[in-house]
Chains A and B, each alone.
Chain A
Amino acid sequence: MLWIAGSLVVAGMFFFAVGVIGLLRFPDFYTRLHAAGKCDSLAAVLVILGVALYNLADFSLASLLVSLKILAIAVFVFVASPTATHAIAEAALVIGVEPWSKKDQEQ
């Protein structure tokens, strides 16, 4: 159980790292948002699942209740994070942020 929990947390850390690299390396606003939004939702959920499993290591009714609460956080992150990303992207579209294109590369 501990090994599964640990590997879930490590996988979450990997996706966080990928998201940060994308945030630093991508050329414009939309691609950065793409990296940050997707990687962060998945990584946060993986870390939270790992923590919930770790909490279940000494099984009792109380630790099961705490794990269910942690799982509820995962559900809400999974709903709220993509919505927030969508709202930010739409706001950028409305005020006219230009996406990156080939001709930006040549300058």
Chain B
Amino acid sequence: MKLLQERAKGRPAGDSLIIRTSVRLLVPFIQLYGLYVIVHGHYSPGGGFQGGVVLGASFILLALAYDLKTSLRYMSEGANVLLGNAGVLIFIGIAVLCALLGGLFLDYAALARLIPMAAEEWRSFGIFLVELGVGLTVMSSMVSLFWDLASGGDMEEGL
């Protein structure tokens, strides 16, 4: 017991081979599942918010199992901000594009003037495009909230 305790205290917190291996194994599948939830959002349970949370959680898991620097290597701060803003732009851009093309704000059927498809199909597909933006924004906010709260804003060392 004492020996085990000394050995566990000797290494930095969370530095465990078992946890790291299984996180390394699971993270790609978690991200794939997040994309699946976003893509299936408009005709099954799920959607942009839920998929974005799953995507963001995969990066938070990396930061918890390794450290903040490792998760910054997979998703840099600049790329994170860029993706979040791109998500908002996708949402607003599609909504305003609908209005400019003669429909209402977020009236996807108006997009049929750009790419001819049935109005019903556009209403279904437009939700997917908007959800993509929502997912990117939610992922970016989750990851950046965790980074800032865990490191006190300096991105040096976290939990």
Contact = CB atoms under 8 A, between A and B. Distances in A.
Same complex for A and B? Answer yes
Given A76-B29, A79-B25, A90 B16 contact: yes
Given A83-B19, A87-B16, A94 B26 contact: no
Q: Is the interface of A mostly helix, strand, loop or mixed?
A: helix
Contacts of B9: 94
Contacts of B75: none
A80 B23 CA distance: 9
Interface in B1-52: 1, 4-5, 8-9, 13, 16, 18-19, 22-23, 25-26, 29
Nearest to B13: A94
Contacts of A93: 4-5, 8
Q: Which of B13, B22, B25 has the most CB of A within 10 A?
A: B22
Interface residues of A, number: 11
Contacts of B23: 83
A80 B4 contact: no
A25 interface: no
Interface residues of B, number: 14
A48 B98 CA distance: 45
Contact of A86 (B16, B25, B26): B16
Nearest to A69: B36
A83 B18 contact: yes
B18 A86 contact: yes
A83 B8 contact: no
Interface string A76-97: 1001100100110010011010
A80 B13 CA distance: 19
A79 B26 CA distance: 8
Contact of A90 (B1, B8, B25, B26): B8
A99 interface: yes
Nearest to A75: B29
Nearest to B4: A93
Contact of A76 (B16, B18, B26): B26
Nearest to B1: A99
Contacts of A79: 22, 25-26
A105 B57 CA distance: 43
Contacts of A87: 16, 19
Interface of A: 76, 79-80, 83, 86-87, 90, 93-94, 96, 99
Interface of B: 1, 4-5, 8-9, 13, 16, 18-19, 22-23, 25-26, 29
25 contacts: A76-B26, A76-B29, A79-B22, A79-B25, A79-B26, A80-B22, A80-B26, A83-B18, A83-B19, A83-B22, A83-B23, A86-B16, A86-B18, A86-B19, A87-B19, A90-B8, A90-B16, A93-B4, A93-B5, A93-B8, A94-B5, A94-B9, A94-B13, A96-B5, A99-B1
